[in-house]
Structure 1
């Protein structure tokens, strides 16, 4: 895992701007503390910070070139099938100078140009510059696990793994985007291509982006999922197929030249990953468990994690959350390029700080709930899905309308609160139809004919995407820890899309049977009493709302009424005082609490980002 940055000049009279690439890259040092590298010519400057995971030698240094030095690459991520691709490319006559996965991308591009992404299994963000044709190609993995931002002006195109690189540019204006702010309050994180900063965009997940020296750009998807072609396999046969896919994914993600471990929460998802790792022959995998180890507050998942680790003879390192301080939330918000409207980021980021001295790579169970239907909210959707099963043709041929409608309903519910929270100026800048457009763009990768599949992919690609992208990337990279998620292998997602609804949410009346096929598979490796268990969620015993009313109360007040926030002019101070009092008196409804939490996070984030100007 690494950090990448680049400047592509669209006006050759601005060659002095290329010098900024060194400062842009320096801002990414935490992502790659092991090495740095640069490439310059008259048109482009590329920078790379390296976190060495595969092939630790200097041969894998970046920027990296192909055989005839016509292409140059900067790459952030991991390609899990690089060994297979390498063998095929050697058979075709390609020569390699390293054992790295990075070099595979260069040779694939030689053969397939921008279609090279279709052959990659992994998480990635990369840029390839064609020196002779003066064309720049950028691409991002299918789910957006790895970030890639860009900022385009009349004179140049700038890109980076993190927005903070753009702060190093003399002519970059650090200004909040009103569209981005509206979008943030309707989501937990801002969906691509929007960002919180004016002029800055994200490359969309599962998209390639081609730019020539005249500034002409083409962005197009390279991956789509079809949920309408359901399998005829029995539950038993489907389970065996899932087992093979999971074993393949886990085996590939265990490849590393540095210490690797597993985050073991005690839940089903991480427990089955440990079992599968054991099955592949990796019986020495270290596990890390963070929870509450105090006698006063019993942590069921903490105890179960230690039990599962013992079952598979794993060396289990346990860490206690310890005392929860407001400053932990502040420090977590500081790490974020954009606000993540999720109070729990403070302890989710903290995990990586606790394990960084023992592992440079960790596997997690991220994504299983969204792919296989683990959340309780899916039970009501399944009940509704049973009713709408008679209208599959109509649903399939009105995907865009249904997605946009779902977004409009969500936005309308939020707007009842936001129209009072926002200042007059911010209300006037409300972008009509933006939410529907963003959700429809994200869901254009998916074809579905039932509402459960629609809900699962809305969560995977947008609503809950922060749990698989911004949180593990931001938290992990700050501590130079690479996070890998075997459930997010695109072949597993594609297979899950073919499964009937009752293979995922088997009984809408019984949440314990959610993720039905995955739990059936888990029972082949684990005792059933460790599979059909109440879902707690990581850090379930930490009540952030209670903290805000008690030990954090003064800190929250100081933050939301800070002069920096008031002078920004985004919010109605009178309503802020009202919603704060109602929060303290426990009279906010569920949606109001969510909006208020996002407001608090934004204030914490904004106060830091804009007090250091």
Structure 2
């Protein structure tokens, strides 16, 4: 696991970026605290920061050059089947100098070129420079578990694991207003765009080849989700369960491959509990970690995690924080972001990752299961819209009532009112517009109103419509289907929110987070299952529940679905709100010229009254402002 960065200069002017390569590497130091390395040869410079997990010796440090001196790699990730690949390469007469998977990737690329990617089972982003051909090759894993940003102009090609590395290398600091508009709705910027004009994220399953100043992009893996797969549809349901258990057992076993201790996050939800149940069979002393909130019972799920840990006899660590203690993580978490990311649950993952990092370097998580098997509330809502039953009709007809009742995320009943109102609003829309409404945290109108009048037209114009259309391309208004919604979620939510969150928060604390549900064989199997195996009646993730029910405490199957959330409204009380005021002060907002001053004043008043929807909208603005002050203005934070 590493942070990587690099420069390919096309001109003498482009060579100036080489001088900043060490500084760009320093920006990524948190991603790899165990070793640092630089490689400069002619027009190419490569940098690496290493978190040593496989082949932990110094001989496995990067950048790594093969024995001929022709090929050099910087590599971020893990290939879990590297030992089998190594044996195949050795049988072909290839000698190895290290025990690392990095060298396996390098040698496999030398032997098979781009085809090597299809044989790699794991997550990765890497760059390999061929000095003989003067070609730089970059690739990203199938589902986007490891990040890769890049930028090209007439003089240079730049890349890095985080946006901060590219800013340090000298990309223009110009905010992409369309990205900002999408971010305000979603709380993240969907790939391939970034918050800066001209800087892109390499899409999952894609590769780049840079030669003679030209960049050629290719697709090496196409997601099976949303395709016409029928193999599992012919399997009886009982056999579907048997196959699911076998594939997940293999995925968990492979993701426990490491030369350092491996633990697991245990939220008390179904997904992480399934992973822990399988991992505990392989490691009876498995260390598990959960997070709870002492003064916000509605958000505290530690009791369920405790039940699972007891049943599976894991070595369990429970981190329970007061709101004041949670606030102490706020500024360190914000400082770790070099692109705005406002999923508030990232704060909880940051705190949990910091606790886990005291004992392990690798943790398993349950991320991906919701998107594959239909675990979100919007999936059940979509199922009810498609079924068009009496309940759905009644909820829609009573929207006049839901719109008048108090709604928030802070209590069970208020949250139900909020859900009913969103359901009623979405049920009247087309499949694509309904999906977008349910995927966002504030409406297009609300997000647009936050922008200054001069920025609204550019932010919401043709480019916005094109990007939104690509992100909802899985959906078909003529023949809506739940599996198409899951396909859209995998591309949008999983690839740009959930995986970004665990990568950023884990790397900020020097740990690697692995998700067995994203093994490509598990994903292919899940994508081909009929929707009825996933959501039926009021049951979500049906096949996952029924396959593993006997292995987990019964209480897990009686509890309502809940996401991994934080008491965001409570964070804005007291000292924290006072500290953040400068970021949203009238003077700063007016000088900046990005946001509408009147709307921000109104939003601050709503936050002060304790509204959870306003708190979420305000959080997105605060995260952006903190980032803008640090990375665009290059000024020290007032906090």
TM-score of the alignment, normalized to the shorter chain, above 0.5: yes
Could you tell me which residue of structure 2 aligns to residue 237 of structure 1? 239
2 CA distance for matches of 1:417 and 1:163? 27
Q: 1:71 to 1:226 in 2, by over 3 A?
A: same
Q: How much does 1:60 deviate?
A: 1.4
**CA distance in 2 between partners of 1:572 and 1:446 (Å):** 34
Name the structure 1 match of 2:393: none
Secondary structure at 2:332 match in 1: helix
Q: CA deviation at 1:225?
A: 1.0
Q: Deviations over 1:392-425 (max 9, x none)?
A: xxxxxxxxx9758955998998332234321122
Is it true that 1:292 corresponds to 2:293 in the alignment?
yes
Contact 1:407 1:435 in 2 (8 A): no
Is this contact kept in 2: 1:293–1:302, CA < 8 A?
no
In the alignment, is the contact (CA less than 8 A) between 1:422 and 1:570 conserved in 2? yes
Match of 1:566 in 2: 590
Aligned to 1:538: 564
Q: Residue in 2 aligned with 1:282?
A: 283
| Structure 1 residues not aligned, in runs of 5+ | 389-400
Superposition map of 1:335-484 within 5 A: 335-386=336-387, 414-441=443-470, 450-484=480-514
Cα deviation, residue 459, structure 1: 2.0
> Normalising to structure 2: TM-score of the pair?
0.85
Residue 275 of structure 2 is matched in structure 1 by: 273
Structure 2 SS opposite 1:257:
coil
CA RMSD across the alignment: 2.9
**SS in structure 2 at match of 1:536:** coil
Describe how 1:147-186 pairs up with structure 2 within 5 A: 147-169=147-169, 171-186=170-185
- CA pair 496-410 structure 1, distance change in 2 beyond 3 A: closer
Partner residue of 1:519? Answer: 545
Aligned partner of 1:393 in structure 2 is none
Q: Report the Cα distance in structure 2 between the residues aligned to 1:414 and 1:330, rounded to whole angstroms.
A: 28
Deviation at 1:229, TM superposition (A): 2.2
> Secondary structure at 2:443's aligned position in 1?
helix
Equivalent residues of 1:559, 1:604 under 8 A apart: yes
- How far, CA to CA, are the matches of 1:405 and 1:106 in structure 2? 45
- 5 Å-filtered alignment, 1:190-201, equals 190-201=189-200
**Does the alignment pair 1:486 with 2:516?**
yes
> Which residue in 1 is equivalent to 2:427?
none
Q: CA deviation at 1:71?
A: 1.5
* Number of residue equivalences: 590
**Post-superposition offset of 1:595:** 3.8
Q: Is the 2:292–2:300 Cα contact (8 Å) retained in structure 1? A: no
Q: Distance in 1 between matches of 2:558 and 2:497?
A: 23
Q: Structure 2 vs 1, CA of residues 609 and 368 (structure 1 numbering), >3 Å: closer, same or farther? A: same
Deviation (angstroms), 1:157: 0.7
Call closer, same or farther: CA 1:298–1:571 in 2, change over 3 Å: closer
Q: Give a deviation string over 1:418-444, Cα, whole Å, max 9, x none.
A: 343211221132252434433554566
- Stretches of structure 2 that go unaligned for 5 or more consecutive residues are 390-429
Helix, strand or coil at the partner of 1:468: helix
What's the CA shift for 1:583?
Answer: 4.5
Q: In the superposition, relative to structure 1, how do residues 382 and 101 fare at CA in structure 2: closer, same or farther (>3 Å)? A: same
Displacement of 1:48: 1.0
Distance 2:298 2:463 in 1: 45
String of CA shifts for 1:209-252, please: whole Å, max 9, x gaps. 11112324234342221543232112210011001110010000
CA distance in structure 1 between the partners assigned to 2:194 and 2:121 by the alignment = 27
The reply on whether 1:580 has 2:619 as its aligned counterpart is no
Deviation at 1:202, TM superposition (A): 1.1
Q: How big is the shift at 1:117?
A: 1.7
Q: Report the 3-state secondary structure (helix = DSSP H, G, I; strand = E; otherwise coil) of the residue aligned with 1:579.
A: helix
Q: Which residue of 2 aligns with 1:602?
A: 624
Report what 2:212 is aligned to: 213
Give the match for residue 101 of structure 1: 101
Q: Any residues of structure 2 matched to 1:306-317 within 5 Å, and which?
A: 306-317=306-317
CA contact (8 A) 1:225 1:445 kept: no
Shift of 1:20: 2.4
Q: Residues 313 and 417 of structure 1: is their aligned pair in 2 closer, same or farther, counting only changes over 3 Å?
A: closer
- Which of 257, 260, 282 is the equivalent residue of 2:259? 257
In 2: Cα distance, 1:264 partner to 1:213 partner: 49
- Match of residue 499, structure 1, among 523, 526, 529: 529
